[in-house]
Structure 1
Amino acid sequence: MNTQELAQDRVEDAGHFGWLRQLTKAERRTFIGCKVGYALDAMDTQFLSFVIPTLIATWGISKGDAGLIGTVTLLTSSLGGWLAGILSDRIGRVKTLQLTILWFALFTVLSGFAQTFNQLLVLRGLMGFGMGGEWTAGAILMGEVIRAKDRGKAVGMVQAGWALGWGVSALLYALMFSLLPAELAWRSLFLLGILPALFVIYIRRFVDEPDVFLAEQRRSEHAEQARFTEIFSPRMLSTTLRAVLLTTGAQGGYYAITTWLPTFLKTERHLTVLGTGGYLAMVIAGSYVGYIVSAYLTDRLGRKRNFILFAVGSLAIALAYTRLPVTDNVMLLLGFPLGFFVSGVFSGMGAFLTELFPTRMRGSGQGFCYSMGRAIGSLFPFAIGAAGQSLPLGHAIGLFSAGAYGIMIVAALTLPETRGKRLES
């Protein structure tokens, strides 16, 4: 543990944001690098959701084809997250962060030059490797740099960058499609994906490797370097599997709700507010506030209690959407708690996974657990669609949401509480 962190632990916070003022210059630069990097990751990722209607109209692809692009991106991001974790244990957190940002920026730009569906499918699939890898590298980096008592807040506020990037992508979509014809606007939007590559200059110049990682690297010079398979050793296997269940529940519930709720509300409730900018703004605002509130609660309540609180809240809002009679006006207001709970549940994830694994295998463990949860969770929308053939869609959404968040709660109860844990050096 570095001396600056030990000294900071003796300083009392002044208000809710006192910890931010106590950050050293190096910590502040790392915080900015990780948060902006994740926001840019979200921006490039969310571009696709805005251009799908244009692609359907101009290329004549089906909704199934459009959905396939999203599924392939999720699956490659799962593999990319694990590979980035392994790489971060080998070459460093900062170098891996730079590589993943350059990777997803490159393939976002190339997507703007795609001439066929198959080309776009391949390019977005390749982009997914960097998308998933950036989260892994950034979460580990921020978790190792910040002092133990504020790790949840810091990593959670980095996670909140996703909502900011989502909002920026919506604004750029509105701007491009107001200035250019649709067949050019969607390409221009992807070409703006070059912006994250420029941010790598900042990371390269101002962000350093964490002291705890450098100490582990020096130790590894005189000992056998960890293998990524150590997360499956008898000592770590139980932790790894339970962490996978935790992330599967969070991401399975998220994909189940966000993928099928709009279809359910449009086709069975005949609501029209879902596709409006106002509803999207409410969901994005709720997401950002949820990330921030959860970031603070994960340090105040503890990791496990916070996970359970937001899992129960997410399930409650899903049941409210599918079981209660609602109007367009009520649905607009419900957009805020929807974003609040289903996004906020992720805020403590990065800090918790950082604390569960030793430094020598932290990248491999964190990358595998989050990525495997994403891969399994991405199957929940398919399962709901299949179940919807024999069950009312609302019941299928409620059933699989309850299953996902139930798994998450059970996993949280069985895992150790890690709030305030100091990382070994």
Structure 2
Amino acid sequence: MFGWYREIGPAERRTFWACLGGWSLDAFDVQMFGLAIPALIATFGLSRSDAGLIGAVTLLAAALGGWIGGALSDRIGRVRALKITVLWFAVSTFLAAFAQSFAQLLSLKLLQGLGFGAEWAAGAVLMAEAIRPRHRGKALGAVQGGWAIGWGAAVLLSTAAFSAFEQGTAWRLLFACGLAPALLILYVRRSVPEPARRHAAAEPQAPATPLAIFAPGMRRVTIIGALLGLGAHGGFHALFTWLPTYLSAERGTSVLGTGLYLGIIIAAFGLGCLVAGSLVDRLGRRTTVAMFAIGCMILVALYLLVPVDGTVLLLLGAPLGFCAAGIPASLAALFSELFPAGLRGTGMGFCYNAGRFASAVLPLGVGLLSEILGLGPAIGVSALAAYGLVLLAVTLLPDARADDARPAHRELTR
């Protein structure tokens, strides 16, 4: 599964580790919100709808940030954009630890979302251009697996914090630790070269403006890609924004019990990213995404809509986490091959993050719907609709394989 790593050069390896670290720390910052929802509700006297609004605003900002971050990477370079965006979301998360009101917390989460979305766009296009084509899917899948690393670190830290401190202090400590990603900038600055714009001479170059991806020759791919991003993000955020609250409030699990359930899901999520990375290079992008979408729909129904006891719920967590990983782990490879070099950052940033913009209503919608259906059914219905959209959208996109999608990779030598 990791044989590809031995075949890539030193510059490719350094780029891989920088992007893996950025995405892991990004996940660490973002996933702390879902883990802290019960404490935030108690601290600020929020309703579930209020908490859903914070999640929705964060995702809306991430969508805008991803589009801006992708365009920024096309203009100033991939590495410079990565450094700026990592610093932005780290500082924003840290400042959220000192929020004294719902309005302050909402504003700071908005700022965090801008940096979070922009960081993915900058890092994904950097990886897509730095890694040789035949290993692009595997490398991008492994980087996406960094989400499990950051998510797992957030769960471990939150379990320790909420076990050792009262909840009003614990969530602030969690957010304060969000400054850690800023240290990554030191490594990026020393070790990561700016990649050559692959195929820049061979491909038609459009002006690197955010609206250029809606030119007549690219509009259809851009819109369908955005719908795919909507389904992917909608399913993930409908599930995992509210899952810790579902486990503790609806299933009555303790802090340690919730950590165990989430730990199994997270470990399987990391494995799913690695397997998906291999499959996209072997089976093609569309086939891989479709397979994982079908798996997600089946498992969401079993996990949340069918009455099961705690043991079965625990066992279902592994396949649920595995299938939930496969779609986001495949998107960077798929999107990177849909756009010319001069618009690759803008196109990838928009398609991936436009899904966040539209799916931002889902955490809020789950909160509202839970007051009618209950939290478990509300999560399940929302996630099923989102993964159904993934299945529809992916059938409308062209498929591409890393080996034949583009001319041969020009290896970095610096």
Q: Distance in 1 between matches of 2:37 and 2:393?
A: 36
- Runs of 5+ consecutive residues of structure 2 not aligned to the other structure: none
* Greater RCO structure (CA 8 Å; 6+ sep): 2
Say if 2:159 and 2:259, in contact at 8 Å, map to a contact too.
no
- Runs of 5+ consecutive residues of structure 1 not aligned to the other structure: 1-15
Which is greater in Rg?
1
Say if 2:52 and 2:366, in contact at 8 Å, map to a contact too.
no
SS at match of 1:403: helix
TM-score by length of 1: 0.87
Residue matched to 1:253: 235
Could you tell me which amino acid in structure 1 is paired with residue 340 of structure 2? Answer: P
Say if 2:59 and 2:360, in contact at 8 Å, map to a contact too.
yes
- Tell me the CA shift for residue 402 of structure 1: 4.0
Residue matched to 2:16: 31
TM-score by length of 2: 0.89
- Tell me the CA shift for residue 210 of structure 1: 1.1
Q: Distance in 2 between matches of 1:297 and 1:333?
A: 24
Q: Which of 43, 48, 60 matches 2:45? A: 60
Alignment map for 1:15-414 (pairs within 5 Å): 16-212=1-197, 216=200, 225-259=207-241, 271-273=251-253, 276-383=258-365, 399-414=381-396
Q: Structure 1 residues 341 and 273 mapped into 2: Cα distance closer, same or farther (>3 Å)?
A: farther
**1:30-83: CA deviations, max 9, x gaps?**
000000110011111122223332233333333332222222111111111110
Q: Distance in 1 between matches of 2:99 and 2:396?
A: 47
Q: Structure 1 residues 46 and 254 mapped into 2: Cα distance closer, same or farther (>3 Å)?
A: closer
**1:132-175: CA deviations, max 9, x gaps?**
11111111111111111111110111011011001111222233
SS at match of 2:337: helix
Say if 1:291 and 1:344, in contact at 8 Å, map to a contact too.
yes
Q: Distance in 1 between matches of 2:242 and 2:163?
A: 29
Q: Distance in 1 between matches of 2:49 and 2:241?
A: 13
- Tell me the CA shift for residue 179 of structure 1: 4.7
- Tell me the CA shift for residue 385 of structure 1: 5.9
Q: Structure 1 residues 398 and 199 mapped into 2: Cα distance closer, same or farther (>3 Å)?
A: closer
Q: Structure 1 residues 185 and 383 mapped into 2: Cα distance closer, same or farther (>3 Å)?
A: closer
Higher mean alpha-carbon deviation, 406-415 vs 297-306, is at 406-415
Say if 1:146 and 1:154, in contact at 8 Å, map to a contact too.
yes
Question: How many pairs align?
Answer: 404
Q: State whether structure 2 residue 377 is matched by structure 1 residue 416.
A: no
SS at match of 1:186: helix
Could you tell me which amino acid in structure 2 is paired with residue 247 of structure 1? Answer: G
Identity %: 47
Say if 1:71 and 1:378, in contact at 8 Å, map to a contact too.
yes
Could you tell me which amino acid in structure 1 is paired with residue 136 of structure 2? Answer: R
SS at match of 1:347: helix
Say if 1:359 and 1:423, in contact at 8 Å, map to a contact too.
no
Higher mean alpha-carbon deviation, 202-211 vs 25-34, is at 202-211
Task: Give the root-mean-square deviation of aligned CA atoms.
Answer: 2.6
- Tell me the CA shift for residue 368 of structure 1: 1.0
Q: Distance in 2 between matches of 1:266 and 1:54?
A: 12
Q: Structure 1 residues 381 and 301 mapped into 2: Cα distance closer, same or farther (>3 Å)?
A: same
Q: Distance in 2 between matches of 1:324 and 1:189?
A: 34
Q: Structure 1 residues 141 and 413 mapped into 2: Cα distance closer, same or farther (>3 Å)?
A: same
Q: Distance in 2 between matches of 1:219 and 1:294?
A: 30
Could you tell me which amino acid in structure 1 is paired with residue 186 of structure 2? Answer: I
Higher mean alpha-carbon deviation, 170-179 vs 257-266, is at 257-266
